[in-house]
Chains A and B, each alone.
Chain A
């Protein structure tokens, strides 16, 4: 691969006793958008501020086209700075200047353009970002979303070769967020600037980035293309891409898959030693993916949630339940028998039939039949995990059904 445009080599940074970056390596390539994602407060902005020289590393080097940033002469540094724009997280608009003056400032202060030419360029950006109505107002008089757009306009007005975006879409409504991401992608392909973007907007940000770096626990555990990201086994990566499912599971009270897997393995070894038993139930909601795509995300989520919460309530601490796939919930009852599992399913059925999601009347526009299947497996001897799941799936029977009224 080509030489990186910007390269972090073992960069460490601490603020007092708080270490934010620990020997971080990062590569940013020319003409690409690199997204830096990570939880709030893990040092994403700190990383960006190092590129522009607002912060200096405690140790390690930052190379710009192979040359260390701290060896740049004053003129080189100026030239480098002039070639890039920085969009601040809090926008950093000049609050005593109007929107127009804010956007015009870099041109007024840095270039020899005539006032007419400046006005032309600024008006173009103002029009582009739909800021015409507020051009004469001050930043404190306009909404947060508008401020964001002003900041973006100010970053683009100098037509830089590199733009550092510090959360460009945070605080925007979904439509404007898409518009901003779209605009960034559009300009990137048109002008070909190098973009570095700190963002929380997963998965949207993946669609417009060429590379992704995840920062977690002072390090960068992953950097690569979005495709590589999806294929990655790294657990931190998984949490990031499946953020929505993780939240859903937390809402429904399901355990992490890892924990249930561990419980099964533990039970298996117990069974082989003590000749005991344990039971496991595999629930599947048929056509959940189809419902998600055709009826809607919320409907699918509600159906899943309804089942998961019901299971959790009936379990009452006697076992553990986890999402096993997109449509599956796996329940483990340590020491439980087949009949106990049946009892749990029956109790669940009486509860769930009363729910809104099982009522065809509620699906007025698009309705898709779905059924809930359950398979019980009592394990008495040691086998492996895959075959257990396989057998449970084979044992599945339909336990509930929602049929749409067909006119």
Chain B
């Protein structure tokens, strides 16, 4: 009866009120979370520059995130380039402009596929393990131990990873682009017989520095997003509702990967629309 009365008062059906309730609650939650991530990033980024400079730890992370991803990035880059070469040739030949193959492969790699696929591969390889490692450190009280030793856990754990990502993402993206173009060359020129000189000349003609800086900017943005999200998810494993211990770490790792991937693709669209 009371509920009916309140409905009559507000003049809205209860379903609609529930919907608004749901919407409001979740919006608040998401905005709160975004704020927390922003603060987390801010401190993580700031502590990169605090003295004494953590050179050794950053190099270790560069090795882990970068050097160890070298092979997988090369492999993915090669096959992406090769398939671009095949598909591009098949499409371009219909218009009799297979000479444009080099430009098509290079532009799509440098502007789009290079940064995005590199980021996705690093998320899968390094991002998940960053979240898991920090998550396990959280649940086994290692982060608390750092805190009691007056070692700032943000500075010790998060900053080197953000710094290393900033350095490594653009480099791996460049690697991906170069190997991708070689892949395109292999299928386009070696297999399908496009003229080698034309292939490279078209690349030289069509790729401008704005394309390269665009790709570079994207990879930088992805580096910040991916490292922050993965560290954040691991760092706050214990705050996760319903996930304790190993279960919590597995949930943290999953959401680190999923959220990073989604954000990379969303951000890619946003950045592309600004950069065009």
Can you name 28 A-B residue pairings with CB atoms under 8 Å? A52-B148, A54-B144, A54-B147, A78-B150, A82-B150, A84-B148, A85-B148, A85-B149, A86-B145, A86-B148, A88-B144, A88-B145, A90-B141, A92-B140, A92-B144, A92-B145, A93-B142, A93-B145, A94-B142, A95-B136, A95-B140, A95-B142, A96-B133, A105-B149, A106-B149, A110-B149, A110-B150, A158-B149
Q: A54-B147, A88-B141, A94-B142 are in contact. List 9 more A-B contacts (CB 8 A).
A: A84-B148, A88-B144, A88-B145, A92-B144, A93-B145, A94-B137, A94-B145, A95-B140, A110-B150
Report A95-120 residues with CB < 8 Å from chain B CB: 95-96, 105-106, 109-110
Residues of B close to A78: CB separation below 8 A = 150
Q: How large is the interface on B (under 10, 10 to 19, 20 to 34, 35 or more residues)?
A: 10 to 19
Among B149-178, those with CB < 8 Å from A are 149-151, 156
The minimal Cβ–Cβ distance linking B137 to chain A, given in whole angstroms, is 8
Q: How far is the CA of A122 from the CA of B174 in the complex (A)?
A: 44
Query: Which among B144, B149, B156 has the highest number of chain A CB atoms within 10 Å?
Result: B149
| In-complex Cβ contact of B141 among A52, A85, A92, A158 (8 A) | A92
- How large, as a class, is the contact surface on chain A? 20 to 34
Considering the chains assembled together, what is the distance between the CA atoms of A84 and B149 in angstroms?
8
**With a CB–CB cut-off of 8 A, which chain B residues contact A93?**
142, 145
Tell me if A81 counts as interface (CB < 8 A to partner B): yes
Closest A residue to B143 by beta carbon equals A92
Identify A105's interface contact among B137, B140, B151, CB under 8 A. Answer: B151
In the complex formed, the residue of B with least CB distance to A88 is: B141
Within the assembled complex, what's the spacing in Å between the Cα atoms of A85 and B151? Answer: 12
Q: Specify which chain B residues have a CB less than 8 angstroms from the CB of A110 in the assembled complex.
A: 149-151
Chain A residues within 8 Å of B149, by CB: 85, 105-106, 109-110, 158
Q: For B150, what are the chain A residues with a Cβ–Cβ distance below 8 Å? A: 78, 81-82, 110
**Binding site of B, secondary structure by majority: helix, strand, loop or mixed?**
helix
> 9 tightest CB-CB pairs across the interface, nearest first?
A92-B145, A86-B148, A92-B141, A81-B150, A109-B151, A106-B149, A82-B150, A92-B142, A88-B141
Q: Which residue of B lies closest to A78 (CB)?
A: B150
Q: What residue in chain B is nearest A151 (Cβ atoms)?
A: B145
CA distance in complex: A397, B136 (Å): 67
Bound-state Cα–Cα, A106 to B148, Å: 10
Docked CA distance A92–B142 (Å): 5
Inter-chain CB contacts under 8 Å: number: 43
Task: Give the complex CA separation of A54 and B144 in angstroms.
Answer: 7
Q: Separation in Å of the A158 CB from the closest CB of chain B? A: 8
On whether A54 and B148 interact (CB within 8 A), knowing A96-B133, A109-B156, the answer reads yes
Interface string of B168-200 (1 = CB under 8 A from A): 000000000000000000000000000000000
**Cα distance A371–B150 in the bound complex, in angstroms:** 63
Q: Per-residue CB proximity of A61-90 to B under 8 Å, as 1/0?
A: 000000000000000001001101110101
0/1 interface trace, chain B 113-131, chain A, CB 8 Å (1 if under): 0000000000000000000
Could you say which residues of chain A place their CB within 8 Å of the CB of B137? 94
CB-nearest residue of chain B to A79 = B150
Whole-angstrom CA separation of A110 from B148 in the bound complex: 12
Q: Are A81 and B133 within 8 A (Cβ)? A: no
Per the bound structure, the CA–CA distance linking A82 and B133 in Å amounts to: 26
Q: How far is the CB of A41 from chain B (nearest CB, A)?
A: 16
Q: A96-B133, A109-B156 given as contacts; is B148 within 8 A of A81 (CB)?
A: yes
List B contacts of A90 (CB < 8 A).
Answer: 140-141
Q: How far, in Å, is A153 (CB) from chain B's closest CB?
A: 13
Q: Mark B91-118, 1 if CB is under 8 A from A, else 0.
A: 0000000000000000000000000000
Complex Cα distance A81/B141, Å? 17
Shortest Cβ gap from B129 to chain A (Å): 11
Residues of B within 8 A of A96 (CB): 133
Q: Determine the chain B residues whose CB is within 8 A of the CB of A54 once the complex forms.
A: 144, 147-148
Across-interface contacts of A88 in B (CB, < 8 A): 141, 144-145
Considering only CB atoms, which chain B residue lies closest to A86 in the complex?
B148
Chain A residues with Cβ below 8 Å from B140 are 90, 92, 95
Give Cα distance in the complex from A84 to B136, angstroms.
25
**Bound CA span A54–B150, Å:** 12
Residue of A84, A95, A109 most packed against chain B (CB within 10 A) = A109
Contact string, A194-209, partner B, CB cutoff 8 A, digits 1/0?
Answer: 0000000000000000
B156 nearest in chain A by CB position: A109
Q: Give A160 Cβ to nearest chain B Cβ, in Å.
A: 10
Residue of B at shortest CB range from A109?
B151
* Across-interface contacts of A106 in B (CB, < 8 A): 149, 151
Residue of A nearest to B54 (CB): A109
Q: List A contacts of B136 (CB < 8 A).
A: 95
- Nearest residue (CB) in A for B147 is A54
Query: In the assembly, what is the distance between CA of A165 and CA of B90, in Å?
Result: 71
CA distance A90 to B133 in the complex (A): 18
CA gap between A90 and B149 in the complex, in Å: 16
The 8 A CB mask of B62-99 against A (1 = contact, 0 = none) is 00000000000000000000000000000000000000
Q: Report B58 CB to chain A, min CB distance, Å.
A: 15
A94: which B residues are within 8 A, CB to CB?
137, 142, 145
What residues of A have a CB within 8 angstroms of the CB of B145 in the complex? Answer: 86, 88, 92-94
